[in-house]
Structure 1
Amino acid sequence: MKINANDYYADADFKISERSTKPSFDLDKKTAKKELKKQRRKLAEFQERLFANDRRAVLVCFQGMDTSGKDSLIREVFKDFNVRGVEQHSFKTPTDLELSHNYLWRHYITLPAKGNFGIFNRTHYENVLVTRVHPEYLLNENLPDIHEVSDVNQDFWNMRFEQINNFEKQLVENGTIVFKFFLHLSKEEQKNRLLRRLNLPEKNWKFSSGDLKERALWDDYQRCYEAAIANTSHEHSPWYIVPADEKPIARLIVSSILNEKLDDYEDVNFPTLDKEELDKIETYKEVLSRD
């Protein structure tokens, strides 16, 4: 089995209805978990080199409908990472402080430093997804030309797509490697997962009546995802559409894509000592041996 990143790439012609929510290959859970262990060990090795090299950062973004498996995927894929070199941020309803700045501000201040991985669990794309399905939320941003919902038109969303493209291009040009994953879940599988959540005492605390209200807007969200992905997927900051109905395989696909693309960065290596320090190594060994 070979997982090829290009098979999951979304371009400007992306149509969400043409992508399956189920994997294109059969793999039992036990084998998928075994393969995932290999992939995440390789990712952890890259993280170690990235941290030591200290010239690039990696930003991994996850979007998906409720119950698409973002939390558990992040836990399983990045389990072997050194916690010193990775941070996860989840962006929920903006605070008053965040609303007093432009919508990208809260994302800027949480970007990974060089040498680190950053994980966005829900991302800056909420600003062209949730706010597009619920344009009334934009009124909280106190934008100069938006006084009522009717002021929000296609030109506004095109502007936001351009701003997000520029934001990501700037990141890449300054050394950040950007990945964006859409966990593509079927409506039927979401229903099953919500029912399981309700039936399990240790899980039902996660359920909110708001989950059902958002589920009723499923088709609106699918249209908004399609537009957002088609307008912002580029070679330097690609979107990958991951079939998410089977969690173990979704995790394997994400980790495999990350490793395949990170292999291209041959410059991310451990630093080498200069000649003067190399010449002293034997002396240092001798001093330590006599200690």
Structure 2
Amino acid sequence: MEDHDILDGQDISEAPQPRPQSLMLAFFGNHVLDEGEVGVYSGSIIDVLGRVGVGEQAVRSTLTRMVNRGLLRRRREGRRMFFGLTPQATRVLEDGRVRIWQQGAVNDDWDGSWTLLGFSLPDSWKRQRHDLRSRLTWSGFGALYSGLWIAPGKVDAAGIVSELGLAAHVKIFHARADEVTDIELMIRDTWDLEGIAARYVVFDKRWTAHLNAGAGDDPIGTRLRLVSEWLWTIRTDPRLPARHLPQEWPARPAQETFRRVADHTARPARRMARDLLETTPLR
């Protein structure tokens, strides 16, 4: 289980339908991450995820799968089972929180630097190659050439390759482009700008319609869908320098829509969570 597994790739021509694990992680990120070492009763989780269309059996199987993957830990009290975060899941959720709430989708502050990462792995290392590429994509890298990846700004790529045990097979550089380099052409050749833009357009249309339809009466379910879909939207966006993107880049209005819905649902969702969730310390 890696950071990118928070999301599930889908056809961007349709509104995203997050899988139960995506919604489960959004649930723990919204309502457990800041509460310390607490566990949530499985019945409470079934109740909340039922509000976004996830059935009881799917919730139970997802909880079991996430325990087996080292993302959740469980504790039995009598006939009740409680689930809490592991250090691995905490790291994944904190990384996602930085992407969502601190960095944002628009990079107006690029300093002109790039992180370059070159790697050469044995042909038989298919899983390691897949894991590395997936982590690099989540961290903002694109394939400049087959074994040379690039990301805007200074990225802690050393941490990525160290966690994957690939430090001996990777070289990392921080550099600036020579004036002969056409940065905008390089960006178009390296990243799928049309695909990235389409995700923002889909998100903005869907959630603008939600705002226009009124607040609704289920803020906790709305917020779960919102965060899951926003993570789906930004998954492949490396936060490219705004000054090198098309003038009408749709990330900015989509981000404004996301923040409007997030602000509108924050307090009501917290209040509802206090009423719905049964918790216990896991220390």
TM-score range, shorter chain: under 0.3
Higher relative contact order (Cα pairs below 8 Å, separated by 6+ residues): 1
Q: Highest CA radius of gyration, 1 or 2?
A: 1
TM-score by structure 2 length?
0.21
